[in-house]
Structure 1
Amino acid sequence: MFNQKDGTVGIAYNIKKDTNIITFGAILHLTIKDNKVLPEYLTLVLNSLVV
């Protein structure tokens, strides 16, 4: 399930390793809970013109 977030669509990134970073509040962090969805595919779809 996804939460709604207001704002403009930016660029989606797939970070493959754990990092110790601090992000601004305007960034939405998504966690994939279903193994049927590949992170690379989700990144591609979120960066498509359709979205």
Structure 2
Amino acid sequence: MFGKDHPETLSARANLARWKGEAGDSAGAAAAFEQLLADRQRVLGNNHPETW
């Protein structure tokens, strides 16, 4: 099982956030992406391509 900071977990969270937006929950998607960005910055650093 992957932990909360594992890159695959972060990728799965990005997919979930995207699908929230696709389903019409733009506010939920924006909130999920904000949280994900903060976690990616913390885990991967500001210069990682997936943090941009």
Q: TM-score surpassing 0.5?
A: no
TM-score by length of 2: 0.28
TM-score by length of 1: 0.29
Query: Counting helix residues as a fraction of each chain, which structure ranks higher?
Result: 2
Larger Rg belongs to: 1
